[in-house]
Amino acid sequence: MQALKKFIPVLTISLLCCLFIYVFYRTEKTVINQFIISFVSQDLYPRLKTSVNAALPLNEYLVYSLPEGLWVFCITLSSSFFHIGVMSRRYSLVFVPLLIALMMEICQLLHLTNGRFDMMDISFATGFWLVAFLWTRNNNNTKPLFQSFDIKTIWCMMSYFIVYLAHVN
């Protein structure tokens, strides 16, 4: 638990930055924005979004690439506590976020999913993954992912679930 405590502030700030960008700068067709619209109303949401955009304009890299980099960062941090076992071998989950990000971009390139292939997304994802990987590389005390249900497992599963909230309907 102590190792996770040092990551909670940076995880929280990173995820709140992603939420802010998605809510105020991305399409209202994302799952999280559909939820927000149902909470604040169809009339109020566009006005809030316009006000925030006018008060704090962001460039397109911050709007479209930074959130992916931040969620890769968060998932890498939370995955660093776990491994999976396959035929008496242990595989660290710390590599899974980068693989997911790369696979999502490949799926976009092949038009298998919504979105647009972007090398900048890959750059942000790889850079943030590397920072998280280097920050956690000495974490040799991993455990099987579903061995127990504790705060580390909950943070890890929530980090992966949050990616769904960015899905465009």
Residue 101, classified by CB atoms within 10 Å of its CB into exposed (0-12), middle (13-18) or buried (19+), is: buried
- H helices of 82-150, where? 96-109, 119-136
> Model-level pTM?
0.87
Query: How would residue 7 be classed by pLDDT, with cut points 50, 70 and 90?
Result: confident
What is the number of structural domains in the chain? 1
Domain enclosing residue 33, as ranges? 2-165
More confident residue, 3 or 39: 39
User: Taking 80 as the threshold, does the pLDDT of residue 146 lie above it?
Assistant: no
For 58-100, the pLDDT digits (tens) are 999 999 999 999 999 999 998 988 888 888 888 889 999 999 9
